[in-house]
Structure 1
Amino acid sequence: MNRQLNEINLLRAIACIAVVVTHSITNYAKTYEPALFDQDKFITYFRFALLWATPVFVMISEVLISKNYPNGVRKGFLLKRVKYILVPYILIGLLKSYMHSEGQWSVFFQRSWEIVVLGHWHGFFVLVIFQFYILHILLGRFLQKSHPLPPILISFVLSFTYLYIHAGNKEYRVFIEQVYPFWDRTIFIGWLFYFVVAFYIGQNYERVLIFFTKHFYIPLITAVVSYVMMMNRVMDRVFVSVKSDRYDMLIFALSVFILALVLLRMIKKPNHTLIKLSHFSFFIYLTHQLTLPYLSNLTQTVANTFWSHVVILTFLGLATSIGWAMLFYESRLTKLFTGRIKALDQLAR
């Protein structure tokens, strides 16, 4: 394995687990204990501490592109990603639409439009990633020639301002919904900071990791401070929205990303379980929410505490998605649902 990519694979797997844990907690609360987060503040702290996962997953995508294609993407770059990323997004989105159609074609078509086209579901991050691909193609040369600091600062101001106003101004949210045809969580401005920072990390990957290994305290302090500031807003009921695209998540997610890369690089022996899990991560992201509500009912028959429920449900959510992937990978037709899974390609050899 490429030694430089070991920490990326491990982090992608950990981010995937964090997302499933987050949704397992949410599913439990919605189904069995709606007042849970008001009663147990530790669970609230834990839940918000995991919200870095989706921004990190999105940043990993751009870091790898910027690192692997430092002088521009190759011919067929977008076509390949349409095949392995956009097609599974569409097919899983259609499956989700059917599951919520109540057997009526009119409802199915309406759900399909909202989910697949407008991105109004947990798979919305795919539309964000594709916007990153386009931004990379359009802005890559410019960013490469520019000093990193101005683009990073400008993108932070743009993302923070958009997310801050969006969070606190109802009229602005209505305006965005009127002028922006897709789900407002997919708009690239809210994710622009992650794109620009990830681009420069990918371009200077070794230098960045060496610098922050020597100055470990920088991302550690910013992670702690930004998390405390975020939780103050949550506990004071100023901004309680449980979502990854928060204005106070920008610095926290980036700090966790850098911290994790530095720490995971210190692991000398690769964890093959996590590495294999990282190969399934994209499919897990797309499918785990399809089964969690059903698995939650099963879990409740054996779990007698909140934490046992979350642990078992997380395991079942991961295992079910992996099982689906392995079954779908057996046929060329159903393989379209999964995209490319390196671990299964290796088994087939």
Structure 2
Amino acid sequence: MKKELVSEVIWLRCLACLTVVAIHCINMTFTNYEGVLSNLSVTFLEVVKLALLFGTPTFVFISEFLLAKAYPTQIPDKFLWKRVRYILIPYITMAVVYAFYSLTRSGELTATALIVKSLRNIVVADYIAYFIIVIFQFYVLHIIFTKYFQKASPKLMITLCLVVNLIYLGFFNFVPPLNFVPSAEYIWTRLYWVPFPGWLFYFSVAYYCGRNHAAFKEFLNRNMKWLIYSPIVTFLVILFLRFGELLPEANSKRVDILFYTISMIFVIFYLTSKIKHIPWIIDLVSRYSFGIYLLHLIFVQNFSEIFDGLNPWINIPLTFVLSISISILLTFVLHKLRIGSYFVGKIGAKFSTKTKNIQNENWVEKEVKV
């Protein structure tokens, strides 16, 4: 099945990947330079971090947009199995790697601790790759939508998904942990990130944009005069809620991020559609995005600590560039081994005019062909 290349997705995937790495660099700076950064510097970095929070949910949009565009009416054979091989297996493999890494850093490495931590990473997605489980839930939901909701009204479905998403995130954003719920503190702190209702709005918008790609592009061209201002307006709301202490947590699982992310995706999609040439660095980061996603945190943590004697404004860009570069290099080297793809998944095909009719289906599966 030939799939028309959507060049805007290469830009989206690259930018989303870079924002995730940048956020972790900023987080490490807050940790390593606590008490050193001025209040103005802390506020500035916090604002930058808030502006970058659209990155993680953008991956949900990319994933479903491409699936809906490639398979709008039917699901191919072995749809899930082929995603298990190069997405779920690396998730399990890296769960063990990160368990070993975190226990080694903390000096608590024992055989028992490694088993417990590995199982915790795998079962409750208690490490950086939790997002793979989010994506996998949407593979299943894509099958359900394709089988049962093809004829449903897009406006109705998107509205329903938005309401569900707002209620779900609103509950965990504004209701404190309930004492009678087992492990309530952990659920409210992290576990609520994993279930699909927390990301449902992005999925629904992507599903209908992917199924109706031409109409989506026409919508952007027709409405960009006012859509271009939507990221600014929605970001001002985020700043108000954050610094007004109504939503003090700066993460992508906030109710206000829903509207900001979609507005950013639409504007980026529109602007990049006007760019005829894709720079090699953009293509490179997009192709290696899964490996960067899985590996970068290890390098961010270590480089940030190694350079903590430097000025933080030197530390951040240095850590950022090195973490991405080493992640790409290690992914490349691992792919020279037969088992490499079971650690860092597949690498995307290099973009050229010869690959114009080949479309990677997903930011994490790259060359999985079905």
Unmatched tracts of structure 2, length 5 or more: 353-370
The CA deviation at 1:343 is: 4.3
User: Normalized against structure 2, the TM-score is what?
Assistant: 0.87
Q: Relative to structure 1, is the Cα distance of residues 176 and 230 closer, same or farther in structure 2, using a 3 angstrom cutoff? A: farther
Matched, 1:109 2:110: no
Checking the alignment, whether the CA contact within 8 Å between 1:100 and 1:108 is kept in structure 2 is no
Matched, 1:240 2:242: no
Checking the alignment, whether the CA contact within 8 Å between 2:121 and 2:127 is kept in structure 1 is yes
Q: Relative to structure 1, is the Cα distance of residues 292 and 319 closer, same or farther in structure 2, using a 3 angstrom cutoff? A: same
Task: For 2:131, give the aligned amino acid.
Answer: F
- C-alpha distance in 2, partners of 1:237/1:258? 28
SS across alignment from 1:122? coil
Residue 197 of structure 1, aligned match among 174, 180, 205: 205
Checking the alignment, whether the CA contact within 8 Å between 1:13 and 1:275 is kept in structure 2 is yes
Residue 281 of structure 1, aligned match among 289, 294, 303: 289
Residue 299 of structure 1, aligned match among 307, 321, 345: 307
- C-alpha distance in 2, partners of 1:191/1:92? 23
The CA deviation at 1:296 is: 1.2
Q: Relative to structure 1, is the Cα distance of residues 79 and 223 closer, same or farther in structure 2, using a 3 angstrom cutoff? A: same
Residue 313 of structure 1, aligned match among 319, 324, 328: 319
Moved more, 321-330 or 215-224: 215-224
Q: In the alignment, what sits opposite 1:121? A: 127
- C-alpha distance in 2, partners of 1:217/1:141? 36
Task: For 1:16, give the aligned amino acid.
Answer: C
Checking the alignment, whether the CA contact within 8 Å between 1:86 and 1:126 is kept in structure 2 is yes
Deviations 1:120-164 (Å, cap 9, x if unpaired)?
222111011000000011122333211101111111111011111
Moved more, 71-80 or 209-218: 209-218
Q: In the alignment, what sits opposite 1:257? A: 265
Moved more, 121-130 or 135-144: 135-144
- C-alpha distance in 2, partners of 1:173/1:268? 55
Q: Relative to structure 1, is the Cα distance of residues 344 and 335 closer, same or farther in structure 2, using a 3 angstrom cutoff? A: farther
Checking the alignment, whether the CA contact within 8 Å between 2:3 and 2:70 is kept in structure 1 is no
- C-alpha distance in 2, partners of 1:245/1:72? 31
Task: For 1:248, give the aligned amino acid.
Answer: D
Task: For 2:235, give the aligned amino acid.
Answer: Y
- C-alpha distance in 2, partners of 1:293/1:4? 36
User: Normalized against structure 1, the TM-score is what?
Assistant: 0.92
The CA deviation at 1:177 is: 5.3
The CA deviation at 1:245 is: 1.3
Unmatched tracts of structure 1, length 5 or more: none
The CA deviation at 1:300 is: 3.4
Q: Relative to structure 1, is the Cα distance of residues 232 and 35 closer, same or farther in structure 2, using a 3 angstrom cutoff? A: farther
The CA deviation at 1:174 is: 6.7
The CA deviation at 1:222 is: 2.6
Identity rate of aligned residues, in percent? 29
- C-alpha distance in 2, partners of 1:29/1:103? 26
Q: How does 1:1-349 map to 2 (within 5 A)?
A: 4-33=5-34, 36=37, 38-40=39-41, 41-101=43-103, 102-172=108-178, 175=181, 183-300=191-308, 303-304=310-311, 306-343=312-349
The CA deviation at 1:272 is: 2.1
- C-alpha distance in 1, partners of 2:24/2:175? 27
Checking the alignment, whether the CA contact within 8 Å between 2:283 and 2:351 is kept in structure 1 is no
- C-alpha distance in 2, partners of 1:203/1:133? 15
SS across alignment from 1:56? helix
Moved more, 215-224 or 162-171: 215-224
Report how many aligned residue pairs link the two structures.
343
- C-alpha distance in 2, partners of 1:48/1:6? 26
- C-alpha distance in 1, partners of 2:97/2:322? 20
